[in-house]
Amino acid sequence: MSTITARVSQSALSTSPERQSLSQRASTSTQREPEAPATSVVVPLPRWKATLVIVTIGLMTMMSTVLSGVLAVALPKIAKTLGIAESLLLWPASVYSLTCGCTLLLSGSLADVFGSRLVYLIGSAFSTSMVLACGLSRSNVQLIVFRALHGIAISLCLPSSVSMIAGTFQTGQRRNIAFACLGGAQPMGFLVGLVIGGILTDTIGWRPAFYILAGINAVVFCTALTCLPEKVGGARADVLHRFKTEIDWLGVVLISTSLGLLSYVLAAVTVHLSAISSPTNIALLILAVLLLPAFSIWVHHQEKAGRPALIPNSIWRNPVFTSLCITAFFAWATVTANQYFLALYYQKVQLLTAFDTSLRFLPLVVSGVLANIAAGSLVRRVRADVLIGGSVLLSAATPLIMALIDPSLSYWTAAFTATLLSPIWADITLIVANLVVTQIFPSSTHGLAGGVSNTMAQVGTSLGLNFTAILATGVTMSLADVDKTSPSALERGYRAAFWASFAATVLMLGVTGWGMGRMGKVGTEKTN
């Protein structure tokens, strides 16, 4: 699921007193037609080679979420095979986004120190092995652990992949197209996974589906070995010195621990709602909350002293960027939850097979492709706030329809429209976010700003799935004198999840108007 726009460079991670703060350097960029920051000269590759780089990187990015799509539609059968409880059904999906979001900024720093190509290849190889391991899982614990490790592997790929894209294309139409392809790879991968997951699960089984995906991953990895541009690195001693001094290790520990503990408590509550009253869980929840201001204080101290700060507080002083991050968080929280609950609705309420479910997601694939094509063309012609606000309105129809739907209605009456409009908001937000970051911040901070916004998106996915799962489970379990596993009981819980998603989506209209209103158009080629 992504919005990273370049590798995390030394100047992006380290702020000295002599340097301007991020917000100061971006302050002139928040007007309606901002000036483009200075960028380094990019030597263009031949078209065929540039295309090969895009395809290779895009395929690995796409494959990272194909597995998530397969999981979404195959979860009921996987749960039956591995004994996954209803309350833990969404955990294999959310833990992937959690670990990916917690390690993205660290992975960006590693790519800067060791070289983007090396880190990308390591992540690709690790990802291939984890996909295979998921298929070999013999228990729900194994599957969850391997999915968590898969999230870490993908976090190694994302910053370095977009860094190579940014180094291949100059600002303008070609870069817009490249970002559209790369940004669309993750949501498109999820949609493709939904379709092929249903087909493979009901034919050869879910395990062979994972093996096939692992094989495709391996082919893409081998292709990347031969076609990705080389990255020149420094001497080994210099690399080790930078590894020790240029990464905000305490910042990484503070924010990762906070998010990890929060997610653990949410997972425990998802299993048993009464777990929230456990003294251990209460203590862990308080600790997770306290670590957030501790992280803010720490990075403020680091930034003021001119030392590496994982996320400098000054970056939040730009209202455009802040609203973009909030929008990315809720876009992925709601859109991903909508699609998972759509799959559960088809299979557990309407009692459809995985194959029939995958057929019902075909319109979602079509709208996802069209949204990416349209966004790549419209970003130069339509204001960013109008583009994102319009996509929010369209995607808001999905949870509203599903919250009001009558299960006895035919697919074409309501569910078709809900499925068709589901991915538009997230797809367009990804593309606009890539271009906004490159426009409102100088090139030295592209990696940092993009890494932060992508982290927000990934954490939003994880927390969105957890919160909606808790809400759905709570509503279902509160029903009296009914079978809690019956379609009617599950439907009540799913409706509550869709209502929560709808409320969060509508809320983003205000956020978009507040922050993005001053941005104007993005993706336009600037002249000196």
3-state secondary structure of 312: coil
Contact 447, 4 (CB under 8 A): yes
Q: What is the pLDDT of residue 297?
A: 94
Read off the pLDDT of each residue in 365-377 and give the average, rounded to a whole number.
77
Q: How far is CA 465 from CA 326, 340, 391, in A?
A: 16, 8, 21
Written as one letter, the residue type at 331 is: A
Whether 461 shows a pLDDT value over 50: the answer reads yes
Chain-centre distance of CA 271, in angstroms?
24
Q: How far is CA 124 from CA 213, 218, 471, in A?
A: 13, 8, 35
Short-list 380, 367, 388, CA closest to 430: 388
Q: What is the pLDDT of residue 30?
A: 40
Q: What is the pLDDT of residue 5?
A: 36
- Of residues 170 and 121, the one with the higher pLDDT is 121
Virtual torsion, Cα 181, 187, 188, 191, nearest 10 deg: 180
pLDDT digits (tens, 9 = 90+) for 259-287: 878 877 877 777 677 777 888 889 999 99
**What's the alpha-carbon Rg for the chain, to the nearest Å?**
22
Chain-centre distance of CA 525, in angstroms?
27
Q: What is the pLDDT of residue 452?
A: 76
Whether 414 shows a pLDDT value over 70: the answer reads yes
Q: Quick one: pLDDT band at residue 494, thresholds 50, 70, 90?
A: very high
Whether 497 shows a pLDDT value over 50: the answer reads yes
Read off the pLDDT of each residue in 235-245 and give the average, rounded to a whole number.
64
Q: What is the pLDDT of residue 171?
A: 61
Q: What is the pLDDT of residue 167?
A: 66
- Of residues 466 and 398, the one with the higher pLDDT is 398
Whether 233 shows a pLDDT value over 70: the answer reads no
Q: Which CATH number fits the domain 10-35+47-516, given the four candidates 3.10.350.10, 3.30.1330.10, 3.40.190.10, 1.20.1250.20?
A: 1.20.1250.20
Whether 337 shows a pLDDT value over 70: the answer reads yes
Please give the Cα distance from 157 to 159 (Å, whole number): 6
Q: Quick one: pLDDT band at residue 298, thresholds 50, 70, 90?
A: very high
Mean pLDDT of the chain: 78
3-state secondary structure of 308: strand
Contact 459, 101 (CB under 8 A): yes
Q: Quick one: pLDDT band at residue 133, thresholds 50, 70, 90?
A: very high
Virtual torsion, Cα 51, 54, 168, 431, nearest 10 deg: 120
One-character DSSP codes across 363-382: HHHHHHHHHHHHHHHHTTTS
The answer, as to whether pTM is greater than 0.85, is no
Domain boundaries, the chain: 10-35+47-516
